[in-house]
Amino acid sequence: MDECTRLHTIIRSTLPGPQHKAASKALKLSITQAKHKWAHDQLHQAVDAQDIWTLTRVCKGRQANTVPPLCDNNSTLVDNPIHKAQIFQNWYFLENPQWVNLIQDDDPPSLPTQAWDPITPEEISTALKTASDFSMPGPSRIGYRILKWAHATSPHLLTLIFNHSIDTGSHLWKHATVVILNKPNKPDYSLAKVYRPISLLECTTKLLEKIVAKRVNANIISANLLPMSQFGSRPQYNALDAITTLTHKIQATRQTGNVGALLLFDISGFFDNVNPDQATQVFRQKGTPENICH
């Protein structure tokens, strides 16, 4: 253990180079030797078959679900779960988001409000066919398998609930279970930015969202609301289309003897900090009914 601590200190305190590389290699070897010694001692001390079968589970390994101490704003390590939750909240959710005027001077004219037909049992059945029974459920623990059974037994129930939610502009499934996962191969796991939260929403909510999203995408395509250069989040478009378009523009620029420039953006926490009021206003301007925009 002392040797591992010494090597770990060298890795954390030195810049990448020969010494850092040698310490990393020695630390891996030291950990491997310690594991072998521990396994040998456990097998040597086993007294019955149950002890041996218990050790077989160790070989498969398991994922650690604990989050190590995190650095707060004062660079102090915090190990209290409540304080760590506050650190994650401060990192992923802005406390005072910048105010944005919902109506801009260069906004395009608003489109007429589109008709929104009631959701049908067939739409729910189609959405359930693409839902995995192994998808993690939300706080209620009601998964897609239960929803499939319920809809097959009484197709009108989910249809009635979904249409009522659409008509009132609200629903009951507003809670989610948030799981914190660490990004792999990061040098310092005491920083909140090397983790990403996963929200386990209620499957009922996700089912309703799938139906609404499919309709919204259909309206976008039929009304031609997106430019041809928009490739993300569109059916039948993928990264290859974007790469092909970029390659074509580069080749055209070179063949005409011009000089081109490419500016790329990598916005940190983009989806975490989208202004929901501004996004809702865009849907209103595109003719989405008011009850859908809530």
Is the pLDDT at 90 greater than 70, yes or no?
yes
pLDDT digits (tens, 9 = 90+) for 99-150: 888 888 888 888 888 888 999 999 999 999 999 998 989 999 999 999 999 9
Closest listed residue to residue 152, CA positions, set 173, 122, 132: 122
pLDDT in the model for residue 20: 77
What's the one-letter identity of residue 230? Q
Following CA atoms 155, 156, 161, 164 in sequence, which dihedral angle do they give, to the nearest 10 degrees?
140
If you average pLDDT over residues 243-261, what whole number do you get?
Answer: 93
Q: Provide CB contacts within 8 A for 229, sequence distance 6+.
A: 245
From residue 117, give the alpha-carbon distance in Å to each of 29, 211, 215: 65, 12, 10
Q: What angle do helix axes 18-45 and 2-13 make, rounded to 10 degrees? A: 160
- Quickly tell me which residue has 């378009």 as its tokens: 245
Is the pLDDT at 253 greater than 90, yes or no?
yes
| pTM of this structure | 0.69
| Per-residue tokens: 104 | 């801009």
pLDDT digits (tens, 9 = 90+) for 107-121: 888 888 888 899 999
pLDDT in the model for residue 2: 72
Residue 289 has a CB neighbour count (10 Å cut-off) of 15
End-to-end CA distance of the chain: give it in Å, rounded.
57
If you average pLDDT over residues 54-62, what whole number do you get?
Answer: 62
Lowest-pLDDT choice from 36-40, 177-181, 280-284: 36-40
If you average pLDDT over residues 27-51, what whole number do you get?
Answer: 77
Mean pLDDT of the chain: 85
Top mean pLDDT of 4-18, 64-78, 98-112, 193-207 is at 193-207
- Quickly tell me which residue has 């792999």 as its tokens: 184
Is the pLDDT at 227 greater than 90, yes or no?
no
pLDDT in the model for residue 244: 92
Q: Provide CB contacts within 8 A for 154, sequence distance 6+.
A: none
- DSSP-assigned states of every residue in 15-31: -SSHHHHHHHHHHHHHH
pLDDT in the model for residue 219: 84
Closest listed residue to residue 235, CA positions, set 208, 251, 215: 215
